Structure 1
Amino acid sequence: MTSDQQITTERPNNDTQTQDFGDNPIEVRETDHYQEEYIRGFVEKWDDLIDWNARARSEGQFFIDMLKARGKKTVLDVACGTGFHSVQLLKAGFDVTSVDGSAEMVAKAFENARDRNLMLKTVHSDWRWLNRDIVGKFDAIICLGNSFTHLFKEEDRRRALAEFYAALKHDGILILDQRNYDAILDVGYDSKHKYYYCGDKVTAEPAHMDNSLARFRYTFPDGSEYYLNMFPLRKAYMRNLMKEVGFQRVNTYGDFQETFDEHDPDFLVHIADKTFIEQA
């Protein structure tokens, strides 16, 4: 590990207990605001929303199998959150480096791995300047948990994807997921809560939706509420953007299925190849 890739062992000195969206929360549509949304109280409850055991059962070996089938070994988890996927991949034998733009999330991921007798290599970094903070190139990058939707500006999305592209080896792959915003915008929100956010005592639902804002409310058993403001990415737009940045092929799965009805899945998973390799 280089000096640029520090292991985080202590929580940031941030005791903020309330989120600040100002006087008009639905007007907050700035990429940088995510730093203020993931306050300590929210991060400490995040695993109640995910439910690690239920999520492991729901998604099975999907990501592990995709990476192993392509012979990938080194993985950069650029939105590690509280560490769920980093830990699963580490346990499966991958060489994992875990990154997040939230210092609170990075610290929590390290704690979660340590509690399972694992050691994460963690880096606190904003995707838009990712290659300033990491060293080397990777076989694969994963960006999971609907994280890419924190980027509100087109230039931020293009820059982040370009940083991912540059951090991959010549035959690397990017695995990026998102909510099925097409379904939410066109049909309405009706999550099955079968994948990803599996906690059965936590409610996650839109508080406001329009073509440039998905504001989600998360309600916990103790009555506490937290919010995230995100950009509702449409599937076709996201696929085209990845190709425009340079990825040669993009395959999209709906709730881990290769064949699906457009408005049926809760989540979409895009697998983008940096180099086009003809399948046998």
Structure 2
Amino acid sequence: MSADQVFHSRSEGIPSEGVKDQYADGKAARTWNKFIGDSTQRTQNYKNFLIGLLRKHGCVSVLDIACGTGIDSMMLVDEGFKVVSVDASDKMLKHALKARWEKRKDAKYDEWIIEEANWETLPRDIQSFLPGTKFDAVICLGNSFAHLLDEYGDQRVQKMCLQNFAECLKPGGLLFIDHRNYDAMIDSGATPGHSIYYNCKYPVDIKTSVLVVRGKPELVALDYCIDTGEEGNGKSDFRLCYYPHKLDTFTKMLDKAFGSRAKHQIYADFKPLADVPVPGFYIHVMEKARN
């Protein structure tokens, strides 16, 4: 049974092929932009973690493969990185393109590249506008990868996409990829309303639903309610659906995609794994083998 037969994870009229655009109706994209705030509202822990590791490893070029509205990409551009930003959602990319236009007088933003791309065809998509390019780092953060559902029941597409991410990296390049602590969410049936990535200034309520098929969790639906306090249009509701990646399984998929010679470090809410008993997020940092 497909997840979409039980939970509608995308708007009517969106094709089922490829990575689902759950923001295609524009409503979720607009509300999500309010939820994440602007680039000045990123949590300092997140910024220190990401930029610290990028600089420690000498990274210059960064591919943001789930750029959404462009918030993380802008943070990296401001810090002097050469950034290419892609997303499968044209509705989300409109916000990123608008943000770049508003920064047109800042010379750093002249080299910020924003394009539409699909994870399933990512290396080919990148080569279509940047032939021969490989990156020092690829980032896929904010629980973005979990948007890709398991249509076939064997995670074949997810595995292929992870291999595509590795292919876009230079030898020694880094992949930053994360997922929520779905192990805990499945056990408790609840999701923390505050994200380690965002300093949202609005009250947020998240209702959690878990779809179990033949004893196996197949999908988690999060219904977001954000109260912006705006008269007549203060509350915004939208649903996003995610594949519930378990830590052990996801770790093994990454290791297989990158090969045995890759280095794999796991963090909990940007801290050493052992320091956080029940984290909200797991962050994986893969270092591609150098030869």
TM-score bracket, normalised by the shorter chain, equals 0.7 to 0.9
Show the counterpart of 2:236: 224
Contact 1:183–1:263 (CA under 8 A) maintained in structure 2: no
Whole-angstrom distance in 1 between the partners of 2:282 and 2:206: 17
What TM-score do you get using the length of structure 2 for normalisation?
0.80
Whole-angstrom distance in 2 between the partners of 1:274 and 1:206: 37
What is the deviation of 1:207?
Answer: 3.5
- Residue 224 of structure 1 aligns to a residue whose secondary structure is strand
Kindly report the root-mean-square deviation, in angstroms, between the aligned alpha carbons of the 2 structures.
Answer: 2.4
Show the counterpart of 1:47: 33
Whole-angstrom distance in 2 between the partners of 1:62 and 1:34: 29
1:243 to 250, 255, 259: 255
Show the counterpart of 1:213: 219
Cα pair distance change 1:36/1:257, threshold 3 Å:
closer
Whole-angstrom distance in 2 between the partners of 1:272 and 1:259: 15
CA distances 1:56-95 after superposition (whole Å, capped 9, x unpaired): 4352321111111001111100000111111111111111
What is the deviation of 1:156?
Answer: 1.2
Residue identity in the other structure for 2:221: R
Residue identity in the other structure for 2:123: N
Contact 2:149–2:242 (CA under 8 A) maintained in structure 1: yes
Cα pair distance change 1:256/1:229, threshold 3 Å:
same
Taking every aligned residue pair, what percent have the same amino acid on both sides? 29
Contact 1:81–1:106 (CA under 8 A) maintained in structure 2: yes
Gaps of 5+ in 1: 1-20
| Aligned ranges 1:75-154 → 2 under 5 Å | 75-117=62-104, 118-119=109-110, 120-135=112-127, 136-153=133-150, 154=155
Whole-angstrom distance in 2 between the partners of 1:143 and 1:31: 21
Cα pair distance change 1:190/1:103, threshold 3 Å:
closer
What TM-score do you get using the length of structure 1 for normalisation?
0.83
Residue identity in the other structure for 2:199: C
What is the deviation of 1:251?
Answer: 0.7
CA distances 1:209-228 after superposition (whole Å, capped 9, x unpaired): 14111101111222221111
What is the deviation of 1:186?
Answer: 2.1
Contact 1:58–1:194 (CA under 8 A) maintained in structure 2: no
CA distances 1:225-273 after superposition (whole Å, capped 9, x unpaired): 1111110111111111011112422111111101446652111110011
- Residue 61 of structure 1 aligns to a residue whose secondary structure is helix
